[in-house]
């Protein structure tokens, strides 16, 4: 069984579940067979756990808020880490608490195992944005990227992606995209119009290969963390389709998704 297609939910609608160790979790998307999954994890203030030994699945995270000491190394706002399967992820100590988005790779994924790939701990603030121009079909988004990790054997890419405000093309139609690899996204800031509705901060999707998606436009600009199942996103383009500005919320969700996950979310009032 593969990971299900979900595009998109606002994670504000998902309830926190308390775990035996005192952390809280929002489990967003899971492959029940191989254990590949994505979740939000909230550590309470004062949390203190020793190293648990070798990980059974690679762990990748971005700190969304707060601060966490991983093996004594202070990881704060948007710090990033990756631990290969078979290596120790280190102790976790918290003074004030922290919230992370965590990506777990599959138990049998060869490209996230020790010996095949290295552990990473970095502060993306120190990485320059790659502002190379994008292909014409998405040039209107004015994108820039920071690559956090490239998996071996062209297996994956994890990156931060921003688009400038007023990312709207002059024409009324643009092609949609198709990839032969998965894409996954969590929205950190901003907004993006999609055929599934308006993505706001806290939005999440997991998109398996060969799903037609887009076109996308962003009046407000956006900042997101993305993962793809290749080192460089490979795209086939469809015929032109209408821009989704004003599209009402129309999520694609797997059967069994709680109804509460797909409530309309209009965000908190900015003023």
Q: Interface residues with Fe ion (CB under 5 A)?
A: 177
Asked if 75 and 69 touch (Cβ cutoff 8 Å), the reply is: yes
b/e per residue, 119-142, with b = 16+ CB within 10 A? Answer: eeebebeeeeeeeeeeeebbebbb
In the complex, least distance from residue 150 CB atom to Fe ion, rounded to whole angstroms: 17
Nearest residue (CB) to Fe ion, 122 versus 144: 144
- How far apart CA 200 and CA 223 sit, in angstroms, is 10
Q: Which residue is nearest to Fe ion (CB)?
A: 177
Q: Which residue do the tokens 């190379």 mark?
A: 132
Taking the complex as a whole, the smallest distance from the CB of residue 36 to Fe ion amounts, in Å, to 19
Min. distance of Cβ 208 from Fe ion in angstroms? 12
CB 117 within 8 A of CB 193: no
Q: How many CA atoms lie within 13 A of 62 on its CB side?
A: 20
- Minimum CB separation of residue 151 from Fe ion in Å reads 18
**7 vs 177, beta carbon nearer Fe ion:** 177
Least distance to Fe ion, CB of residue 46, Å: 41
Q: How far is the CB of 183 from Fe ion (least distance, A)?
A: 5
Could you give the CA distance from residue 160 to residue 10 in angstroms, rounded to a whole number? 19
Question: Smallest Cα–Cα separation from 153: which of 103, 109, 104, 102?
Answer: 109
CA gap 132, 144 in Å, rounded: 7
Residue 63 or 228 with smaller CB distance to Fe ion: 228
Taking the complex as a whole, the smallest distance from the CB of residue 179 to Fe ion amounts, in Å, to: 6
As to burial, measured by CB atoms within 10 angstroms (0-12 exposed, 13-18 middle, 19+ buried), residue 73 is: exposed
Q: Which is nearer to Fe ion, 45 or 139 (CB)?
A: 139
70 forms beta bridges with 73, 92
């Amino acid at each position: 069984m593969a990971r299900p297609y979900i595009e998109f939910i606002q994670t504000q609608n998902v309830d926190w579940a308390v775990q035996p160790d005192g952390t809280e979790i929002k489990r967003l998307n899971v492959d029940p067979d191989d254990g590949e999954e994505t979740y939000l994890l909230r550590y309470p203030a004062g949390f203190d756990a020793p190293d648990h030994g070798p990980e059974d699945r690679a762990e990748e995270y971005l700190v969304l808020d707060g601060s966490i000491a991983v093996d004594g190394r202070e990881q704060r706002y948007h710090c990033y880490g990756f631990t290969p399967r078979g290596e120790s992820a280190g102790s976790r100590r918290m003074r004030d608490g922290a919230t992370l988005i965590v990506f777990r790779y599959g138990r049998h994924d060869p490209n996230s195992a020790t010996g095949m790939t290295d552990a990473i701990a970095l502060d993306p603030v120190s990485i320059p944005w790659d502002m190379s121009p994008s292909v014409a079909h998405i040039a209107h988004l004015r994108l820039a990227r920071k690559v956090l990790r490239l998996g071996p054997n062209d297996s994956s890419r994890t990156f931060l992606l921003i688009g400038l405000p007023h990312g709207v093309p002059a024409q009324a139609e643009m092609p949609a995209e198709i990839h032969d690899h998965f894409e996954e996204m969590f929205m950190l800031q901003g907004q993006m119009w999609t055929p599934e509705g308006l993505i706001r901060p806290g939005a999440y999707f997991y998109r398996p290969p060969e799903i037609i998606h887009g076109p996308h436009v962003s009046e407000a600009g956006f900042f997101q963390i993305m993962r793809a199942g290749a080192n460089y996103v490979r795209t086939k383009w469809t015929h032109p389709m209408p821009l989704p500005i004003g599209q009402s919320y129309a999520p694609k969700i797997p059967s069994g998704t709680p109804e509460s996950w797909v409530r309309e979310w209009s965000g908190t009032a900015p003023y």
